[in-house]
């Protein structure tokens, strides 16, 4: 069986950077260290870090037990950041530089007197962080239809993983009534490139393996895309989940992986597929 792996599979720039920072901190820190929320949506990586003493915590109230706190790629709201600093805890800020930019642009737009509109999922931690910089009258929208009265002077920033088409629709909608519109296109290309390559790959193979946390939004998006194309698709987290029946008679399989999936998991799955197909 031929196995094709997408070049864009796995860690994006921001996740790779954050995971490197996390392992470095876990290995070198002697005190008690934590990440605020799971550092990435991948249980295997979180487990590895926990074994090295870097524990994910959910609430800011739990920080008193720790002397080092790592901020994950999504970033955190401004007031939480201030609280952490007030508590005198050491901070390693692994916020993705692209997310950081979206936060800074939101702040800048507010300072320049724009009413800020954020295109994104209001329940996503990244958006919660950006909102905190954007002013009290900020509007978070999932699409153009949600915008009724944008205002006369409108600034737009975008959750980094949003599709470009949706941004274009939002900007078109705002330009209809606003007199002045300033847009920072903070969409990260890596998501779009991964989706494009996955689409191409799914068109070439008989079965697709989409690897990544079952709770990872961008991995689920990849799996949905493959299913829509009509190729048989398996969303798995680890090699253990693979069923021999899945590859029976298959000549060509494809592998893609979400932004939070580490290389070693992709390699394990590739190896397992090769082993199983050699016995087929």
Binding site for a copy of itself (CB under 8 A): 164, 167-168, 171-172, 175-176, 178-185
Q: Among residues 24 and 152, whose Cβ is nearest to a copy of itself?
A: 152
| Pairwise CA distance, residues 36 & 215, whole Å | 17
CB 265 within 8 A of CB 44: yes
Which positions are annotated as active-site residues? 126
Minimum Å gap between C-beta 113 and a copy of itself is 13
Q: How far apart are CA 35 and CA 50, in angstroms?
A: 10
CB of 78 to a copy of itself, least distance (A): 23
Counting every residue, how long is the chain?
Answer: 280
The distance of closest approach from Cβ of residue 175 to a copy of itself in the complex, given in angstroms and rounded to an integer, is 5
Contact call for residues 10 and 257 (beta carbons, < 8 A): yes
Residue 72 or 173: the one with the smaller Cβ distance to a copy of itself is 173
180 or 271, CB closer to a copy of itself? 180
Q: How far is the CB of 145 from a copy of itself (least distance, A)?
A: 15
Spell 155-177 as b/e; 16+ CB within 10 A means b.
bbbbbbbbeeebbebbbebbeee
Q: Which residues pair with 69 in a beta bridge?
A: 34, 91
* Residue closer to a copy of itself (CB basis): 57 or 192: 192
């Amino acid at each position: 069986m031929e196995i094709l792996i997408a070049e864009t599979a796995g860690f994006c720039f921001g996740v790779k950077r954050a995971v490197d920072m996390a392992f470095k901190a876990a290995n070198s820190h002697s005190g008690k260290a934590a990440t605020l929320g799971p550092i990435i949506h991948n249980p295997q990586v979180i487990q590895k870090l926990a074994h090295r003493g870097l524990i994910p915590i959910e609430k800011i109230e739990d920080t008193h037990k720790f002397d080092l706190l790592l901020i994950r790629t999504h970033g955190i709201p401004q007031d939480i950041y201030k609280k952490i600093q007030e508590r005198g805890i050491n901070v390693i800020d692994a916020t993705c530089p692209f997310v950081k930019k979206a936060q800074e642009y939101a702040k800048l737009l507010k300072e320049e007197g724009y009413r800020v509109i954020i295109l994104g999922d209001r329940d996503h931690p990244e958006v919660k962080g950006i909102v905190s910089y954007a002013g009290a009258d900020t509007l978070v929208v999932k699409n153009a239809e949600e915008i009724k009265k944008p205002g006369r002077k409108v600034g737009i920033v975008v959750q980094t993983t949003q599709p470009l088409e949706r941004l274009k629709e939002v900007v078109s909608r705002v330009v209809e009534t606003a007199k002045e519109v300033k847009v920072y296109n903070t969409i990260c290309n890596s998501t779009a490139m991964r989706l494009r390559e996955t689409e191409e790959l799914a068109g070439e193979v008989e079965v697709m393996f989409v690897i990544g946390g079952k709770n990872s939004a961008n991995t689920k998006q990849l799996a949905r895309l493959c299913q829509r194309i009509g190729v048989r698709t398996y969303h798995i987290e680890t090699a253990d989940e693979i069923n021999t029946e899945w590859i029976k008679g298959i000549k060509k399989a494809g592998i893609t992986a979400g932004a939070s999936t580490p290389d070693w998991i992709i390699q394990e799955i590739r190896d397992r597929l090769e082993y199983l197909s050699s016995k087929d």
